Amino acid sequence: MSIVAQLMISIGFTFCVIVILKQMYFLHHTDELGFSFKNRCSISTYDEGYEGVIADQLKQIPKITEVVDAKGMTGLIPLRSRMSAGLSSWDDKPYETEKMNIERMHVSPEYTAFYDFKLVAGEMLTAVDPDSLVLINESAVKAFAWHEPVGKRFSFSNSGGGYIVKGVISDIYNFAPTIAAKPTYYVQPSERNTGTSGGTVVLFKYKEGMWKSCKEKIEEMMIKDNIDISRVNIHNAEEEYSKFLKSENALLKLLSVVSAICVLICVFGFVSLVSLTCEERRKEIAVRKINGATSGNILSIFTKEYFLLLIIGAAIAFPAGYFIMQPWLEQYMKQTTIPVWIYLSILFAMALIIVLCVGWRVYKVSIENPAEVVKTE
């Protein structure tokens, strides 16, 4: 019973750690977040007149592959300048609905291409589109209850005008992954909808693995051009996104340590129990050897017993682990799956541990002289 309990705890903690690891990997590598943040950065400053200077500096760095002027755009990651307002009128509006809140983000064709926004229906915005053409996300489509949103209109007043939907994009999760995406429309910046915004914002992409050297080069060039670095914010999108997963990373570290301790205790338990059992059954092993049993035959007798304990422990630990981790996964808007290979890999690893623990001790007993053992016993 003690060994089964140790197996249950060890398998349970190991299962939880692997599921959390898989979810963290999924959140960092999935294309279901609605945008791409790998190898992307932003530079912003409240000082005017640096757009051309900073952009030219970035273009001179070979490790940087793309530069985009994002002045007047809504900061995506880190999230900045998002606005929300009550919407009062839209096509096919249900009679009983009064208002709905919708957020606004300012984007450009270069901006949407830079972050690789995912088009679901219609077309992306172009530089020649009028201010009335906008994009909306999937959450906005659901809030409007539209089945064919492209071409539909919505307005913040009942006096007409407003916006026309040119395209629908996937929901963008540029915040904590446990928070649901809100209805949002995306409009190009202009004097009419943003006013004059001060400061400088430049986006850029860099080659894989070159972030540290890129940052050092950027700071060096800014100092050379007498730009006050203390007034400049350089944000790496990957680092900013990782901040959303701080609690998950802390939980993962804690569970990893506890899981390792549990497995270690389980190994000690197996070694102790096998040593005791071998000592008690030395005469049986000797008699079996006299009758022609090999070390492999004796090992199989012991491993069958402990494999049975492993199956019992796993049969209890896996369902318990699943019912613990499934609600934890459901709090995320985008979730990984729990495939069969997780169960099989844990079983295989634990079976290997059993074989090594049992095999080492049984082999020592099985190579003893059976005649001497029978005499002493």
- Specify whether 156 is located in the same domain as 79: yes
Instruction: Name the residue range of residue 85's domain.
Output: 73-108+115-188
- Specify whether 163 is located in the same domain as 267: no
Q: Rounded to whole angstroms, how far apart are CA atoms 315 and 312?
A: 5
Structurally, how many domains does the chain consist of? Answer: 2
Three-state secondary structure readout of 140-166: HHHHHCCCCCCCCEEECCCCCCCEEEE
Q: Rounded to whole angstroms, how far apart are CA atoms 11 and 341?
A: 14
- Specify whether 183 is located in the same domain as 268: no
CB 64 within 8 A of CB 206: yes
Q: Which of 117, 110, 125 is nearest to 203 (CA)?
A: 110
Q: Do the domain assignments include residue 127? A: yes
Q: Do the domain assignments include residue 360? A: yes
Q: What is the pLDDT of residue 192?
A: 45
Q: What is the pLDDT of residue 96?
A: 73
End position of a domain, from candidates 140, 158, 188? 188
End position of a domain, from candidates 148, 163, 188? 188
- Specify whether 182 is located in the same domain as 260: no
- Specify whether 250 is located in the same domain as 371: yes
Q: What is the pLDDT of residue 113?
A: 93
Give, to the nearest 10 degrees, the angle between helix 340-366 and helix 246-280.
30
Q: Do the domain assignments include residue 85? A: yes
CB atoms within 10 A of CB 197: 12
Q: Rounded to whole angstroms, how far apart are CA atoms 257 and 271?
A: 21
149 CB-near residues (< 8 Å, 6+ apart): 121, 122, 136, 140, 141, 165, 168
Q: What is the pLDDT along the chain (377 residues), one digit of tens a residue?
A: 888 888 888 888 889 989 998 998 888 888 889 999 999 999 888 766 666 778 888 888 889 999 998 888 888 888 776 677 888 888 888 877 778 889 999 999 999 999 999 999 999 999 999 989 999 999 999 999 899 999 999 988 765 568 999 999 999 998 888 888 899 999 998 754 444 455 678 899 999 988 998 888 888 888 887 777 777 888 999 998 888 888 888 888 888 888 888 888 877 777 777 777 777 777 777 777 777 777 777 777 777 877 888 899 899 999 999 999 999 999 998 899 999 999 999 999 888 887 777 777 777 766 666 666 666 66
Q: Do the domain assignments include residue 43? A: no
- Specify whether 165 is located in the same domain as 287: no
Q: What is the pLDDT of residue 108?
A: 92
Q: What is the pLDDT of residue 195?
A: 43
- Specify whether 369 is located in the same domain as 275: yes
Q: Do the domain assignments include residue 250? A: yes
- Model pTM? 0.76
Q: What is the pLDDT of residue 355?
A: 79
- Specify whether 278 is located in the same domain as 348: yes
Q: Do the domain assignments include residue 163? A: yes
Q: Rounded to whole angstroms, how far apart are CA atoms 111 and 120?
A: 17
Give, to the nearest 10 degrees, the angle between helix 282-290 and helix 295-330.
130
Helix, strand or coil for residue 203? strand
Cα dihedral 320/323/326/331 (nearest 10): -120
Please return the burial class of 138, using the count of CB atoms within 10 Å of its CB with bins 0-12, 13-18 and 19+.
buried
- Specify whether 268 is located in the same domain as 327: yes
- Specify whether 120 is located in the same domain as 183: yes
End position of a domain, from candidates 150, 169, 188? 188
Q: Do the domain assignments include residue 217? A: no
- Specify whether 184 is located in the same domain as 259: no
- Specify whether 370 is located in the same domain as 258: yes
Q: Do the domain assignments include residue 224? A: no
